[in-house]
Structures are given as C-alpha cells and as structure tokens.
Structure 1
Amino acid sequence: MNIDQLCPTSSQLARGRKQFASNNVQQLPNSPPALYGRSVSSQSTSLTVAAMLRERITSGVVAPGDSLPKRADLAAEFGVSGNVIRQALTTLEDEGLVTLGRGAPATVNEPPPSAPAPQTAGVLLPDRIRAAFEAEHVTIDSFSLTAETLHEALAVAYLGVRAGALTPRSIALRVMVPAIDTRLALPSLIDDPGDTRPLERLRGIMNTCHDTLAMGLNSLHLRGHVPEVALEFRSVPLTPMHKLYLLNGTESLIGYYEVVPETVILEGGEARIYDVLGIDSLLFRSSSGPDSRDAQDAAFVVSSQRWFDSLWNSIARPIESG
C-alpha cells in the first residue's frame, strides 16, 4: 500500500461531503411564523418561550395595556404545548411584565420605574434616613469602616425629631465596624505598611463616632422625644471594602470604597496614607417596599439583610468605646 491509497484526493472528499449531506437532510414540518422570523421546536423550554415573549414586550412590539395572543395561539406559534406556554407566562408574571387573568390573554404591564442615578453618601444617606424616621419603629443596620458618615446623616433626622416633624416611638441602631486588633489592609502608611499609626488614628475616629452616636440617641430619649432607643456596636475581623446601610428592613444602600492616597496628621506630623472615600462614595439604593422596582430589587434587600445578620450573629463581637 502506498501513500496515495492512505490519503483521499480532493475530489473524493467533495463526493463524500455531498453524500453525507444528502443522507442527513430532513424536511422540517410546516409551522406558523414565529416572532422575528424565528421558529421554536416543540422541544423548547418555557424559559426559551419566556425570553422571546420578553423581547416582544421590552422592545415595544406589544405596548403596556395590550394583550398577548391567546395561549392556544401562542402554543401554535411556538410549536409547544399549552403547559409550556403557561409556565412561560407565569415567569413573565413573576417578573412583573404581565398580568394573568382567568380565561383571558395575558396583559402587558406598565414598565417599572427606572432606577435613580446613584448619589454620594453625603447626599443620599441623610435623605433616606430622614424618610426612614417617618416610621413608628426605626431600625438601622450599618456596616462600614468607621460609622462617621452614619453619624453625620443621623444629625439631619435628629433635627426633625427635635422639631416635632418626625415622631418615631423607637429607634434601634446596629453598627458593625472592623476589629482594630485585626491586621487591616486599610488604612495604611504608603511608605511603611507595617506602621500602626494609621490604625490608631482609625481607632480614635471609631471611638468618637461611638460616643457621639450614643449621646445623640440618649439625648432624644432623655428629652422625651423618643420613648425607646437602643445602640449596639460590634466589630468583625475583616477590612470593609464596601459600606452597607439597611433601613427598616425594607431598604438597602450600598457603596464601594475607593482606595485613594491622602495626607493626614499622625503622631509625628504629616503622613501619606492609603485611605478610602467615605462620605464621597456613591450609594446604590434598593427597596423591597412599595416602591420596589422589581423582584431583583427586593431580593437584593433581603439578601443584604441576611448577609448582615450572618456576620452580626456569628463572628461579630461587642465592643465598647475607648
């Protein structure tokens, strides 16, 4: 046997491809035209159908208030069973895109409100905390580097309470900050990361925030503005790279710390450290209340609360000022 017998010629390869194609072509059954010229086989899942209907809704092919085709017509269009259509429509209803009625086609809902642009912590947090103080029982959970931004934001709400514009019956604060005795990544001296002076500065800021938060709450209580107040401080052995505020269990504000070089006064004079943007960091708001935009918005609040509680109830330890 020579090498020519082992290697087929180009003409032989071409004849083989034609024979393979002719033996494997199947005639597709006729089906009604599908969305945007695409057909969906009977093996398609409800998620596939839901995705195609979602595209029809979000692209404006079907306007809010209009109805989708009847379920039987959708089943014929997509070549699937009525059960698949039912599951697909249920998915869209869970997403808030349609409303299902007994014996009636699904109706397209008005689109949810768009998410507002994020704002800096110094702007958004005071506004949202003041709104939270309109409730009868106020709860605030905070996870951050120092609680300094929280203290400044609460001052706005406290003014409303003292003026009688806000009348909560109880205020409960849970504040979680990093443990100073942990080897924190930030803040740190740029030229000597092992220098402990930035951490001592951080400890002083945290102690000040602890004392001022306690004095502010106690003042509202002692002056008769709020019958019940509570403040708990706990520390966790980790470096926060984001800040999180949970208001009344139905609203979350989260922002990421941006690491920046900064000149500060330490024992011995000025020094350059790596610090984080606090009051100037952007906060992103989510809600599980009546103004929730969608299921994902609400789920984020629930997940954030569970995350906070998991730390608070496990590795977080009570701390005292000083």
Structure 2
Amino acid sequence: MEAQRSGSGGGGGREFHRILEELRARIADGVYPLRTYLPSQRDLATEFDVSRDTVQRVLRELAEEELVEPRRGSGSRVIKVPRSQRSSTEDGRLRGGPTLGPLLSEAFEHSEVALDVYSLTAESLAAHLTVQAERIVGKYVAPQSIALRLILPSEDLPLPYPRLRDDPADPRLADRLRLISERSMAAVHRMFMSLAEYVPDVSIEVRRAPLTPAFKLYLLNGTQALLAPYEVVPRSIKLDSGEVVDALDVLGFGAPITRLVKDTDPDSPDTLFVESWQRWFNSVWDRVAETPST
C-alpha cells in the first residue's frame, strides 16, 4: 500500500490506503475515463464497506494529486489520467507499466475486435467493457464486429483465494466470490445484447476450466498479449452480515501488466511470446474448458 503522505491522507489507516490505491488504479486503467465522474460517495462507501468519512478523505487526497477535481452538486471529476500506473506496495516496491484501459481502447478502434480473456472473474472485464460500450454508443468508435471468448474457473472448483486467514475451510468468501462472478457475467451478457443495436456482428462465448487462475490473460485482436499475475494480499472484507473478517485475496484492478506486441519478425521474442500465449489459450479452450450447462 501507499506509504503515509503529508497531505490529507496522512495516517489514514489500512482501509484509506486500500481504497486510494484502488481508485488510482481504476483511473489509470480507464475504468473512470478523463472528464467523467467517479461514483458518488455513498456508492463508493457501499462498494468498499467503509464510512463516507474514509471515502471523503480518499477523494481529498486524489484532488491533492490533481487526478480529480470536486464539483459541488456533481461529485469528483477525473481531470488527469496517467497512461502508466505508478503505485507502491506494502514493502515499498513501485509498480508500473502499461494499463489495461487505454490498451482496450486502442483495440476497440479496429474494425474487427477479438478478445480472448482468461480470468478469475469477469468483474474487471465488465468494468472495462462498460467504458468501450459508452464509446460505441457515443459514436467515438465504430467496430463492425466484436468477438469475446472468456475462460473462467469451473464453478465447482475449490479455489485457494479469497479465504479467511484463520479458517481456510469457511465457505463464506467463496460464496461471495461466486455472487460477484455471476453478477459481472450477467452485466457482460446484457452489455453484448445492447451492443447488437450498434455493431453488426457481436458474439460472446464463455467456457469454464478446472484451473485456478494464477494470472489474468488478455489477447487483443491476435496481436497483443497482456499478462498480469494475481498477487495474494491480506485485507479486511466486510460480509453481508456486517462482520469484518481478515482475508487473503488477490489484486484484480491495478495488477501490474506485462504487454508484448507481435511484429513483422516471426522469430522475434515479442512475436513468439504472443503466439505462445495464444496457443495456450486455444489449447485450454479446445481441450480442457467446457461450456456451462446453464
């Protein structure tokens, strides 16, 4: 997490720094694009299970960093979006590199958009696709086809995370993850159905594989491979019952991304990297993953 700052966030505590890192990452990733507004304080407090006072301190810190500006009656508007995310972890190491939002935006500027995604859930995918759907509806981009293939873990697969730190067998966090996955997948399906009005050819296919994701993989238009490891981190999670538990979870938004792009040299390291991950995805898709029964 971010080391203590001298600004309004100084001494903010674990939850303050967790939310600050998350919102920074979402701004950098394009989840909240330039000139758009962050969710309301009430919505952010509900999402992160914290008080509005904590959210207000986070927003003041983002304003001091000149990433957002508060507007009375409207909320916090994004005024700067760094293309490369720079944030620090608990041990002080800096993360940096390309971020997913701008790279997806570039992919959607093509006439034919092909996305192959392997992930723990569709939560971050749904958030990023919402931004691209808004661009399509607003006629900022006009792809003629969009094809998404998505591999998620099998629904009956026991996962090592998220879990309670002192009781790995407790099923409550696994149940919570399943609900998040179901809701995000429903959002993605609704989005693709609505895009059929604007894009001539839209398709989505989801399969599930008995694999525990240690990373998320995005293959964009057959030319780019984006690979981000799931870093296991301790954090507090508030359950629907109101109980706050100490958990081990993984970073989704804001995870550092390795990006390589195919070039004209078939033997270059970048081309071989992209092609090897495309072959891996195709092999799991064709030989391991299965279409859900419902």
- The bucket for the TM-score relative to the shorter chain is 0.5 to 0.7
- List per-residue Cα deviations over 1:10-59 (Å, max 9, x = no partner): xxxxxxxxxxxxxxxxxxxxxxxxxxxxxxxxxxxxxxxxxxxxxxxxxx
What is the Cα deviation at residue 320 of structure 1?
6.4
Larger radius of gyration: 1
Are the equivalent residues in 2 in contact too, given 1:139–1:173 (CA < 8 A)?
A: yes
Partner residue, 1:193: 168
Partner residue, 1:238: 211
Counterpart secondary structure, 1:160: helix
The runs of 5 or more residues in structure 2 that have no matched partner are 1-82, 87-94
Partner residue, 1:179: 154
Partner residue, 2:249: 275
Partner residue, 1:20: none
Q: CA separation in 2, counterparts of 1:121 and 1:275?
A: 21
1:298 alignment partner AA: T
Q: CA separation in 2, counterparts of 1:229 and 1:172?
A: 6
Q: CA separation in 2, counterparts of 1:172 and 1:166?
A: 16
Alignment of 1:216-295 (within 5 A): 216-221=191-196, 224-268=197-241, 269-289=243-263, 295=268
Partner residue, 2:290: 317
RMSD over equivalenced CA pairs, Å: 2.5
In the superposition, relative to structure 1, how do residues 198 and 122 fare at CA in structure 2: closer, same or farther (>3 Å)? farther
Query: TM-score, normalised to structure 2's length?
Result: 0.64
Counterpart secondary structure, 1:142: strand
Query: TM-score, normalised to structure 1's length?
Result: 0.59
Counterpart secondary structure, 1:263: strand
What is the Cα deviation at residue 199 of structure 1?
1.0
Q: CA separation in 2, counterparts of 1:123 and 1:199?
A: 30
What is the Cα deviation at residue 215 of structure 1?
0.9
2:156 is the alignment partner of 1:143:
no
2:145 is the alignment partner of 1:170:
yes
Are the equivalent residues in 1 in contact too, given 2:85–2:97 (CA < 8 A)?
A: no
Q: CA separation in 2, counterparts of 1:249 and 1:203?
A: 30
Q: Tell me the number of residue pairs that the alignment of Structure 1 and Structure 2 aligns.
A: 203
What is the Cα deviation at residue 192 of structure 1?
0.7
- List per-residue Cα deviations over 1:221-253 (Å, max 9, x = no partner): 1xx310111111111112111110000111111
In the superposition, relative to structure 1, how do residues 130 and 305 fare at CA in structure 2: closer, same or farther (>3 Å)? same
- List per-residue Cα deviations over 1:79-132 (Å, max 9, x = no partner): xxxxxxxxxxxxxxxxxxxxxxxxxxxxxxxxxxxxx97778997211111111
Q: CA separation in 2, counterparts of 1:262 and 1:149?
A: 19
The runs of 5 or more residues in structure 1 that have no matched partner are 1-115
Partner residue, 2:278: 305
Are the equivalent residues in 2 in contact too, given 1:118–1:284 (CA < 8 A)?
A: no
Are the equivalent residues in 2 in contact too, given 1:139–1:171 (CA < 8 A)?
A: yes
Counterpart secondary structure, 1:194: coil
